[in-house]
Structure 1
């Protein structure tokens, strides 16, 4: 064995290294009450959890479940001033899809077919595009649902309608929405991600949703894809979103469901836990209740039917179980495929067990903010 191989870090030694680092003691805060409903009643789900997704965040973490609303939350948890330690290997500024010239002939044809459907359905101008894309619902029955999911189930905009993406990352969704005709803006705390969005010529601010506090009722749609579980004050986030929406505006949210079948199956190895970045994990009822308290009226639920979503969750959770990196790109096994079916199917007959809580919430048409 060469010296170079002897010094190379293995997954086991890397895991040991990060698990033995402590979070700064002055960077923790106690949570005496549920951050969703305020109840003091709770039970402990897990003790001593570590970052088994990116293997970069220090510390061991205890996850508790509220006895009232059944949301789950960390206690203690990182303070707002130190939470950045958990994001040193995060993926907000990764590259997007492969260029057309890098694709095989079959994949180029599939992309052209998909672009043809998107252009027909959403008014985009993607290239290459095939005119037979309008037949995608017949040729590939699951494809329209996949596209709808990628557009966050939004309708085509009317002229001049504005959209704000909170936690926009590298701007992938902003670019899709802009292509469909939305006037877009984004906000993200990651300076590298903000730089990528700026280079694309899109409006973006660095920080959280409070960076747009000066905007008033400026937006027809606000989107938050896998954001609310990361914030210290989810109620404050929703209240700010409500204030920024025009009357009749739409709020899109997707977040992991603590009552998902995947959590029941994989327990502490479930991909959705992702400590300590996920500070709070909702279920359908608790998020609906918090939305009502924040001023929103009706809620429209959605179910993700994309098989690749469940395949990814199954393979990542299995990797966590086996002490491998869950963000690796290893080829899914037949076990992953079987487990993916097991994750997706229960949500068909029991919507409380879907992997994600995915919904639209609405600001009442007759509401206007009265705060000066």
Structure 2
């Protein structure tokens, strides 16, 4: 396994230029092959064309976030998500996912300055449905058309948008934005978060979850971490890295909630 200092592309989280190469693609393939889902993960990466580039895994020396280098391009990601394997799981567990989102949103709803809610990377829109049940006018945006259609059939009172943030009207703003396990999928998280912030009304709240590359329960051998699943996950953040990213995007009051599992739960606010 590699552990070489390098000066590769800047960190997608904090923009620092120095990183260490902690593993090669072959290291990940070897670890993945021993997992139950490993053959499927390896086959998906190969089908996208990304595996052929044999990327390395870099750890930022400043914020300690871990990211793929080089990052996948739009064509490779489109090929990977063409038949995304998790949509069926979301449909089968729809009400369970609504219940979990309901608890999260109910705890924070008093902090939203209004009633417009957006779930980003929504899949079937369980978060948006939970928000609707809590009195919000809810929108779910999801690039996978199949997942969006499944959500529309399940939760017909939610507004479902099959597309990207760019498909929303530029002036459309929301009071509560919900992103569960989304940011780790994004190869340009700063551009993405700036666009998210542009759709937040003054004082709007953002709630996000993502794997935690810096949690005390994250394996020292990061290749054995179950959330290391390229190219589905392209950046695994630490709290330091995610704070830097959100603040670079213009958000403030970045606060992390304690979590016994190796995952981040964070809130942030759009400046008035």
TM-score, normalization: structure 2?
Answer: 0.79
Is residue 76 of structure 1 aligned with residue 70 of structure 2? Answer: yes
User: What does 1:172-187 align with in structure 2 at a 5 Å threshold?
Assistant: 172-187=126-141
Equivalent residue, structure 2, for 1:240 = 195
| Map 1:243-282 → 2, pairs under 5 A | 243-264=198-219, 267-282=222-237
Which residue of structure 1 lines up, in the alignment, with residue 21 of structure 2? 44
| Alignment partner, residue 137 of structure 1 | none
* Greater mean deviation of Cα atoms: 228-237 or 197-206: 197-206
CA distance in 2, matches of 1:271, 1:57: 16
Find the partner of 1:166 among 107, 110, 120: 120
How big is each residue's C-alpha offset from its partner over 1:229-272, in whole Å with a ceiling of 9 and x where there is no partner?
Answer: 10121111211111111111001111111112332256312112
User: In the alignment, what sits opposite 2:268?
Assistant: 361
Aligned to 1:192: 146
Seen in structure 2, the aligned counterparts of structure 1 residues 152 and 66 have a Cα distance that, compared at 3 Å, is farther
- Quote the Cα distance in structure 2 between the aligned partners of 1:91 and 1:223: 19
Instruction: Name which one, 1 or 2, has greater alpha-carbon Rg.
Output: 1
151, 159, 162: which one aligns with 1:203:
159
The answer to whether the 8 A contact 1:254-1:358 is kept is: yes
**1:91 maps onto 2:117 in alignment:** no
Aligned residues: 243
Q: For the residues of structure 2 that align with 1:227 and 1:84, how far apart are their CA atoms?
A: 16
Query: CA separation in 2, counterparts of 1:178 and 1:147?
Result: 11
Q: Which moved more, 1:200-209 or 1:251-260?
A: 200-209
Larger RCO: 1 or 2 (CA < 8 Å, sep 6+): 2
**2:111 touches 2:205 (CA, 8 Å); kept in 1?**
no
Contact 2:112–2:204 (CA under 8 A) maintained in structure 1: no
Q: Which moved more, 1:228-237 or 1:205-214?
A: 205-214
Indicate how the Cα distance of structure 1 residues 249 and 159 shifts in structure 2: closer, same or farther if over 3 A, else same: closer
Task: Tell me, yes or no, if the aligned pair for 1:43 and 1:66 is still in contact at 8 Å.
Answer: yes
Contact map agreement 2:113 2:204 (CA 8 A) in 1: no
CA 1:153–1:355: 2 relative to 1, 3 Å: farther
Answer yes or no: is the 8 Å Cα contact 1:61–1:276 preserved in 2: no
Q: TM-score, normalised by structure 1?
A: 0.59
Gaps of 5+ in 1: 1-30, 100-110, 119-145, 305-343, 345-353, 366-372
Residues 157 and 181 in structure 1, CA contact (< 8 A), matched pair in contact too: no
1:98 shift after superposition: 8.2
In structure 2, the partner of 1:290 is 245
Cα distance in 2 for partners of 1:98, 1:209 equals 23
CA-based RMSD of the aligned residues comes to 2.8
Counterpart residue number, 1:223: 178
C-alpha distance in 2, partners of 1:252/1:152? Answer: 12
**Does the 8 Å CA contact 1:148/1:154 hold for their aligned counterparts?**
no
Closer, same or farther in 2 for the Cα pair 1:193/1:289, shift >3 Å?
A: same
User: In structure 2, the residue corresponding to 1:268 is in which secondary structure?
Assistant: helix
Structure 2 residue runs without a partner (length 5+): 1-7
CA distance in 1 between partners of 2:113 and 2:204 (Å): 15
Q: Is the 8 A contact 2:205 2:268 kept in 1?
A: yes
Contact 1:228/1:255 (<8 A) preserved: yes
